[in-house]
Amino acid sequence: MYSLKINHLFLIQSILVLTVLSSCSKKFDDEDYSAYFRGEIVNPTSNYVLFCKDEIVLDTLYLDENNQFIKKFDSLTPGMYIYRHNPEYQYVFFEKNDSLNLRLNTRDFDHSIIYSGRGEQKNNFLMQLNTKNLVDRNKLYEYYDASVPDFIRRTDSAHAARTTFYLRNKASINWSPDFDLYAKTMLDLHFFSQREIYPVAHLVRNNEDIRKDLPFDYYDFRKRINFNNEKLIDFSSFTRYLGVMLSSEVEQTEIEFDSETSFDKNIEKLNIIDTLIQNEKVKNTILDKIAFIYLLDDQNIVNNELFLNRYFEISTDKNQHNEILKIRNAIQNLKLEKRLPEAPLVDTNNKYVSINNLINKPTLIFFWTKNAIDHSDASHRRALLIAQQNPNLQIIAISIDADHIGWVNHINNHRPNTILELRTTNFQTLKDLWIINKIQRAISLNSDGTIHNPFVNIFDTNIIEKLSTAN
């Protein structure tokens, strides 16, 4: 019997090995662009994974009872894709006929990602490179305190070592030029960002302006960057670097900026992009991102109009103009001393409620979702702490989850009854009306229901002081 069990186990293992080997050596027709994507999510935050390209959701991959998913794509264009398991996301690159298996643990998302199957090597390399970059960020403050020669020596040495790691893997894996674009971008722009940040970070940390000590060729690395490549529009290494570079350029300029607003700096960012980028699609996308961030940051109505006039002069994307105007109009509806627009909200009895009928004392509203349980727990703890320091403050927590029964069960088991819990029945409508662009966003109201501060971060260390002026 024991021998039979061993033989049976050996047979199963042999079949699995043969299956993998035959899969790896399988020949595909030139017209066959099929691909497989399988995965297991340990400690999932929801029951699905979103598969995306260029910020467009291509498919929703639902988890089974084992927290696994599988999807066969009959035709998948080779390229870089994104999978999202809220609140996190990561990249995956598919070549023709790749068959990838993913495993990750949400409690250590980026560091836990492992791929297997056809296409595993290049994707595991990308995760290794990403991890090395993340580790670097923990020691950058030490670099930014260094003198100019020491900073350049350290970063050049680290960049050279990372390049050797990249070249060794490129030779052994023999990946495609399309994949190489992303690998090289992730490698180089990580170190180029450090160069951009250094002069400003050194000034802030050491009160020493070292710009005059920079070598004449300090910024020559910018000449190596292709700012017009459409494939990089939504690649975070590129967009993150571009944001850092724009801030660096603005800080270097001789223009005297108004310290009270971000208006002048963002106008200058628009002008830089207009000069720097020739590709219309790339230019429009970056202009849209600048406009969106600016409108959420500077709540000066006159400045907003001046900013938008310049934005409209440069941007040629008429469809996106309408989206930006919608945001502008929604923000105007959140002006101080106005009331919140009514949004679709229900209580635990699934009865619709009017937000303006609930307010009779200074109120803080924050948002949460079971799909980001760590944030949910932290925001509720933070809200309770704020309430303890301000007993006259009413706190309202709004869930953005669609499942009413699941929401009720969760708050009955896990949430304190000192916080008024509501749920939105249509998050998109709520998002558009109240400009909920980040889950940590909060709103402060006066006791008469008028808006005190429409853009508060519940984790802001100065939030108690900011709320104290509500009446």
Question: 59 - beta bridge partners?
Answer: 51
Same domain, 275 and 375: no
Classify residue 229: in a domain, yes or no.
Answer: yes
Using the structure block, give the residue that is written with the tokens 């007993």. Answer: 391
Classify residue 202: in a domain, yes or no.
Answer: yes
Residues whose CB falls within 8 Å of the CB of residue 3, separated by 6 or more in sequence, listed in order: none
Residue 45 has pLDDT above 70, yes or no: yes
Classify residue 20: in a domain, yes or no.
Answer: no
Residue 362 has pLDDT above 90, yes or no: yes
Same domain, 269 and 367: no
- Which residues constitute the domain of residue 72? 31-118
Contact 346, 422 (CB under 8 A): yes
Question: What was the pLDDT predicted at 17?
Answer: 39
Same domain, 81 and 107: yes
Same domain, 50 and 146: no
Same domain, 324 and 351: no
Same domain, 176 and 300: yes
Contact 331, 299 (CB under 8 A): yes
Q: Which of 267, 297, 332 is the last residue of a domain?
A: 332
Classify residue 12: in a domain, yes or no.
Answer: no
Peptide bond into 87 cis (omega under 30): yes
Same domain, 190 and 276: yes
Classify residue 108: in a domain, yes or no.
Answer: yes
Q: pLDDT tens-digit profile of 202-223?
A: 998 999 999 999 999 999 999 9
Classify residue 178: in a domain, yes or no.
Answer: yes
Percent of the chain with pLDDT over 70: 91
Task: Please write down the long-range contacts of 209-212, taking CB distance under 8 Å and 24 or more positions apart.
Answer: 210/147, 210/148, 211/252
Residues whose CB falls within 8 Å of the CB of residue 184, separated by 6 or more in sequence, listed in order: 166
Classify residue 6: in a domain, yes or no.
Answer: no
Q: In terms of pTM, does the model score above 0.95?
A: no
Q: pLDDT tens-digit profile of 410-426?
A: 888 877 778 999 999 99
Q: Which of 306, 332, 358 is the last residue of a domain?
A: 332
Classify residue 24: in a domain, yes or no.
Answer: no
Alpha carbon dihedral 428, 429, 432, 433, in 10-degree steps, equals -150
Q: pLDDT tens-digit profile of 148-164?
A: 999 999 999 999 999 99
Same domain, 100 and 175: no
Same domain, 109 and 179: no
Domain containing 72 — which CATH number? Answer: 2.60.40.10
Q: What is the mean pLDDT of residues 119-137?
A: 93
Q: Which of 310, 332, 354 is the last residue of a domain?
A: 332
Domain total in the chain? 3
- Residue bearing the bigger pLDDT, 18 or 134: 134
Same domain, 56 and 197: no
Return the closest-CA partner of residue 439 out of 115, 124, 141, 86: 86
Q: What is the mean pLDDT of residues 293-310?
A: 79
Same domain, 377 and 421: yes
Same domain, 298 and 378: no
Residue 286 has pLDDT above 90, yes or no: yes
**CA–CA distance, 328 with 323 (Å, rounded to integer):** 9
Sign of the dihedral through C-alpha 438, 439, 444, 448: positive
Residue 6 has pLDDT above 70, yes or no: no
Task: Please write down the long-range contacts of 381-387, taking CB distance under 8 Å and 24 or more positions apart.
Answer: 382/458, 382/459, 383/419, 383/458, 384/416, 384/418, 384/419, 386/458, 386/463, 386/464, 386/467, 387/418, 387/419
Q: Give the range among 236-250, 270-284, 292-306 with minimum mean pLDDT.
A: 292-306
Instruction: Take residue 333 and report the two structure tokens written for it.
Output: 């509806």
Domain containing 383 — which CATH number? Answer: 3.40.30.10
Length of the chain: 471
